[in-house]
Chains A and B, each alone.
Chain A
């Protein structure tokens, strides 16, 4: 039952964000509101991922995967920290600061891609059977690749062109766009894993991860198609921040779900050992 709250939480966050964004639009503190909200959702994503990682023991596959996802958000938060007017530019110089931000962005995207890839191939590592025929699985993968090409492809082409023309400052943006494209392709195995685990508590983890990736897909989609949909600059900004918030909070919920399951199994078995009798399936 309490797993449902993990799905409700991102929606409640999104609705609250929209209400506050509408109320504060045009107010001088609007920029501070947006920046605070962005950092809060990244902190949540970091906490959820590392909370899940720490539920596993050292050296375990899932610990590494969740740790890498959290490390990505740690890099993004550190990069954002350099935007604060705390003398970073004076200390590092303009070029040094750009290099630091670029390195953090590239590291963060790399970490997110590897972590998500590990979570997306857990079915193979564990020996799980994916549902449906092989041909249908390939169709789902091709569908995800097509969506990734449509939503993340334009940014890859744009920033790739700049880098090829010698614009090295576009490298972090290209890394981000490439990272998005790969992560969006991984929606297919994440979704198939969620379907394979249907009816089990673990379905929540991969279901929420799939929903998070879909939110990131829409985040990219607003940036690419926003102007064509007639969205004003402000509306497009609010929409993209909404999807960023959903991507991060759904990722947070997935991490919490993973932690709850591991802890629940430990609690269930401790309970059994203490009672010396059989216990029923855990109440969630």
Chain B
């Protein structure tokens, strides 16, 4: 079975909250905007910067403290 890309792993972690459409869209938008990379080019070392870019959106929807722990959880689990 093919391993999920980094972008797919991050989107999969966000999808339960934001929905699959918006989760992949958010990963695409912020990786292109902040890292100047397409989602396919994301590697594990890009994850912290991507998560920092996604943090304001998560803060709005689930609050600062929940967003922080969610970001930490994704950071730990994405390989």
What residues of A have a CB within 8 angstroms of the CB of B77 in the complex?
278
Q: Is the C-beta of B29 less than 8 angstroms from some C-beta in chain A? A: yes
Contact partner of A196 (CB less than 8 A), chosen from B22, B56, B63, is B22
Q: Is the C-beta of B64 less than 8 angstroms from some C-beta in chain A? A: yes
What residues of A have a CB within 8 angstroms of the CB of B60 in the complex?
61-62, 122, 125-126
- Do residues B62 and A126 form an inter-chain contact, with CB atoms below 8 A? no
Q: Cα distance A158–B60 when bound, in Å?
A: 39
- Do residues A262 and B66 form an inter-chain contact, with CB atoms below 8 A? yes
Interface residues of A in 94-125 (CB under 8 A from B): 122, 125
Sample of 17 further A-B pairs with CB below 8 A, known A125-B60, A200-B18, A202-B61: A60-B63, A62-B60, A127-B57, A131-B21, A199-B15, A200-B16, A200-B19, A200-B20, A200-B23, A261-B17, A265-B17, A265-B66, A266-B65, A266-B66, A269-B70, A272-B69, A282-B16
**A-B residue pairs, 10 tightest by C-beta:** A269-B69, A200-B19, A265-B66, A126-B60, A199-B19, A281-B16, A126-B57, A56-B63, A197-B19, A200-B18
Q: Is the C-beta of A35 less than 8 angstroms from some C-beta in chain B? A: no
- Do residues A57 and B16 form an inter-chain contact, with CB atoms below 8 A? no
- Do residues B66 and A202 form an inter-chain contact, with CB atoms below 8 A? no
Interface of B, secondary structure class, is helix
- Do residues B65 and A126 form an inter-chain contact, with CB atoms below 8 A? no
- Do residues A269 and B72 form an inter-chain contact, with CB atoms below 8 A? yes
Q: Is the C-beta of B59 less than 8 angstroms from some C-beta in chain A? A: yes
Q: Is the C-beta of B26 less than 8 angstroms from some C-beta in chain A? A: yes
Distance in Å from the Cβ of A204 to the closest Cβ of chain B? 11
Number of A-B contacts (CB under 8 A): 94
Q: Is the C-beta of B25 less than 8 angstroms from some C-beta in chain A? A: yes
Interface string of B37-79 (1 = CB under 8 A from A): 0000000000000000000110111111111011011001100
Q: Is the C-beta of A19 less than 8 angstroms from some C-beta in chain B? A: no
What residues of A have a CB within 8 angstroms of the CB of B20 in the complex?
199-200
- Do residues B25 and A129 form an inter-chain contact, with CB atoms below 8 A? yes
Name A residues whose Cβ lies closer than 8 Å to a Cβ of B.
Answer: 55-57, 60-63, 122, 125-129, 131, 196-203, 261-262, 265-266, 268-270, 272-273, 278, 281-282
What residues of A have a CB within 8 angstroms of the CB of B65 in the complex?
57, 266
Contact partner of A57 (CB less than 8 A), chosen from B61, B64, B72, is B64
Q: Cα distance A52–B73 when bound, in Å?
A: 24
Distance in Å from the Cβ of B36 to the closest Cβ of chain A? 17
- Do residues B16 and A201 form an inter-chain contact, with CB atoms below 8 A? yes
- Do residues A269 and B17 form an inter-chain contact, with CB atoms below 8 A? no
A–B pairs, 20, beta carbons within 8 Å: A57-B64, A60-B63, A61-B60, A62-B63, A125-B60, A126-B60, A127-B26, A127-B57, A198-B19, A199-B21, A200-B18, A200-B22, A201-B17, A202-B19, A262-B62, A266-B66, A268-B73, A270-B69, A278-B73, A281-B16
- Do residues A273 and B69 form an inter-chain contact, with CB atoms below 8 A? yes
- Do residues A126 and B73 form an inter-chain contact, with CB atoms below 8 A? no
Q: Cα distance A269–B73 when bound, in Å?
A: 7
What residues of A have a CB within 8 angstroms of the CB of B76 in the complex?
272, 278
- Do residues B73 and A200 form an inter-chain contact, with CB atoms below 8 A? no
Q: Cα distance A37–B65 when bound, in Å?
A: 37
- Do residues B21 and A196 form an inter-chain contact, with CB atoms below 8 A? yes
Contact partner of A127 (CB less than 8 A), chosen from B16, B29, B72, is B29
Q: Cα distance A122–B18 when bound, in Å?
A: 13
